[in-house]
Every structure is written in structure tokens, then in C-alpha cells.
Amino acid sequence: MNPEPQIPSTFQPLSPPQPAPEPATPPFKPSGRKPTGKIAQLPRTQRDIINKMLDDGDTYDAIQIEMAKHGLSLNGENISNWFQNGFQQYLQHQDYLAEMRLLRENASDLVQDYNVVQFHQAANQLAVGRIFKALNQQQLIDDPANYIRTLNALARLSRAALVLKQYEDENSRAAAQTTKSEPAHDPETQRRLMLAAFEGATGVKAAPGPIGPDLNEFFARSRRVDEADSLASSTVAHSASPSPIPDTQEATRSPSIEKQKPKIEYLEPCPECFAPLPPPQPSGDRLHPHCQKCGAPLRSPGALIEYCPHCRRLLPELNPAGHRPTPDCPHCNQPLPPPINLNAAPDQNPQLPHAA
């Protein structure tokens, strides 16, 4: 008879294999098949009523009575089938929506005081601290490949920290320059800035100065002239003299009153820079052949001034025969309409937009 084998005291029985942990399922994962049944074929508004009543804990009988008000006849089996399939998907979807709302609220709380530079600087410092800890404890001494990759990552993090520091310094200098007190722009500087913005937006040159008399001064002089006329009329009407004013006296009074009326004098602008030009000489010739502001050559008084309808640039002067030197614009190379005939009716000429 063979003796039974002795089991060593250090023998430990093998433990049964542990099942692998199941991966976490997402908060909402609809089933592969679409719910079927009578309730699944209903419109969403009616399905939402049933889901809401089931979620509130109402009984099947209460759901049947409520849906009968909407013209639907349901039984307990219909509601039970929906409860086991479609209603469970509804609950999963509600959990998913609640989680998404919570994530959005947390993200909005972070964004309120979020500073992108400080965030990346903190992340950079955390990563550098972890790397220094691993190097100091010689955790990668036996892994040359990971050791080299860690050193490369440390170099990249150092370069990123330098870039963030430079960006922060530039923002600080820009903020310091912005906060410096600057003198307020005078009206002339503000007008030039507005004209520059207008030209940049429309591509049309604006007149650098006002064309014509100052309106405030013109209206002030008009009021003074009207007051003088009213005073002269009342003096003539209520004169204490029994005899009418002689013609000679009236003739001498009227020119003095007429001299007080302002004469509106039209100042012709330069066709290139729109600066006011001096009036022509009595002989009809110009005082200067070129504009004293921009240096552009001036045409004779009364000559035709046209602008390209495409680029709004000044077109060349017509030749003595009244034709254009070139059929296309010399600035944008676009075809030009026929020249304007000053002797023709206005509706027979092509309309060319005049520069502002």
C-alpha cells in the first residue's frame, strides 16, 4: 500500500482567475434596434407625455385615461412593452443630457476667470516638476530610450516657457503704452482721421478742406442783412416826414443796403486733391498752372472733369476733337463710356459718379 503524498506546508492553492474589468459604458448608448410597438409609432409629443407620466410614477391606468383624452386607446401590454424598451432609452438620454449640462456649467465657471497664458504656464510648470522628480530619483536610469525622450520633452517645455514669458512681456508693454495719457485730438486731427477712414472704406478721395463759405458765418451775415433790411423798411414806412422820400435819396439808400448782402463766391476745387483753387484772373487764365497743394496740372476754367466709374480716378483730358486719348481707363484698364457732351441734354449723357 502506497503512502499518500505529503503536501508541503508552503503550498498555496491556485486562486481562480479574476474576470477582466468591463470597460465603462458611456452615459448614453442607445440600443441597436429601434423600439417597436404601438407607442413607438406615435408622434414625439405624445410619446413625451407617456414618458413624463412614467417618470413621475403614474400608473398604467392613469396613462390609459390621459391618452384617451388625446384620442388614443392603449392597454397595459402596450405601456409595459414601452416601459421595458423605449422608456429605458428615454431615461438614458435624460441622464446623458443632465451630464452634458453639468459639464457645460463647469466649463462656463472655468472660462469666467480663465487666462490662457497662466493656464499653460501652470501646465508647463507641472510637467517640468514631474520630469525633474523622475530624473532626480533616477527612475529612467535603466531605460535609455525613455530617458532621451524625457530630456527632449524637457527641452521643448523650456522653449515653450520662454515663448510664454515673451508673450506676457509684450502684452504688459502694450498695456502700459495704452494706459499712457495722450492729449485729446483737436477737431482738425479728428476730421483728418474721419476722412482717412472714409477713403479706406469707400476708395474715394474726400475733399481735404471745406468747399465754399463757412455755413455758420454765412447764416450769421444773412441774419444781419435781414435785420438791416427790416430796420430800413420800418424807418421808411414810419418816417415822420410828410413828403415821400425823393427818388435820389432812395437811389442812394438802396445801394448801401445791397452792399451789405453777402456774395456767395464759388471756389473751384482741384480735380485731384479737391483743395480750393484761387479764382481765375480777369483775363480768364488761372493764377497758377498747377495746384499749390498736390502739384497736379490744372485744366482751363470750364474744362470737362470726368472720373472713372470703376476706380473713381480722374480721367485724362479730352483731345481737341472731343475724343478720349484711350478707350480704357489708364488706372484700372476698364472700358470707359463715351465722353459727356456739354451741349447735349442731361438725359442723353452717360452718368459718371463724381468723387465725393
**Pair (67, 88) in one structural domain:** yes
Q: Give the span between the Cα atoms of 277 and 270, in whole angstroms.
A: 6
Give the domain-ending residue among 112, 127, 161: 112
Q: Give the span between the Cα atoms of 27 and 105, in whole angstroms.
A: 17
**Pair (76, 121) in one structural domain:** no
Residue 54 has pLDDT above 60, yes or no: yes
**Pair (104, 127) in one structural domain:** no
Q: Is residue 135 part of a domain?
A: yes
**Pair (129, 102) in one structural domain:** no
Q: Is residue 188 part of a domain?
A: no
Q: Is 96 exposed, middle or buried (0-12, 13-18, 19+ CB in 10 A)?
A: middle
**Which of 80-89, 194-203, 257-266 has the least mean pLDDT?**
257-266
**Pair (120, 101) in one structural domain:** no
**Which of 176-185, 216-225, 254-263, 310-319 has the least mean pLDDT?**
254-263
The maximal CA–CA distance of the chain, rounded, in angstroms, is 176
DSSP three-state, residue 293 = coil
Report pTM. 0.28
Do 81 and 46 contact (CB within 8 A), yes or no?
no
**Which of 218-232, 244-258, 275-289, 298-312 has the least mean pLDDT?**
244-258
Name the residue with cell 418816417.
239
**Residue range of the domain that includes 102:** 39-112
Question: How crowded is the C-beta side of 207, counted as CA atoms within 13 Å?
Answer: 16
Write down the pLDDT at residue 10.
45
**Pair (120, 157) in one structural domain:** yes
**Kind and range of the H or E element at 297?**
none
Q: Is residue 306 part of a domain?
A: yes
**Pair (107, 159) in one structural domain:** no
Do 27 and 92 contact (CB within 8 A), yes or no?
yes
pLDDT tens per residue across span 238-286 = 554 554 544 544 444 555 555 555 555 667 888 888 888 888 888 878 8
DSSP three-state, residue 280 = coil
**Pair (147, 159) in one structural domain:** yes
**Pair (160, 213) in one structural domain:** no
Q: Is residue 328 part of a domain?
A: yes
Region of residue 207 (phi > 0: left; psi between -120 and 50: alpha; otherwise: beta): beta
Write down the pLDDT at residue 53.
93
**Pair (99, 47) in one structural domain:** yes
DSSP three-state, residue 296 = coil
Please give the C-alpha separations between residue 124 and each of 111, 136, 153, 166, 260, in angstroms, as whole numbers: 19, 18, 11, 15, 82
**Which of 73-87, 96-110, 238-252 has the least mean pLDDT?**
238-252
Percent of the chain past pLDDT 70, that is, above it, reads 66
| Domain count within the chain | 4
Q: Is residue 14 part of a domain?
A: no
**Pair (107, 131) in one structural domain:** no
**Pair (167, 107) in one structural domain:** no
More confident site: 216 or 239: 216
Q: Is residue 200 part of a domain?
A: no
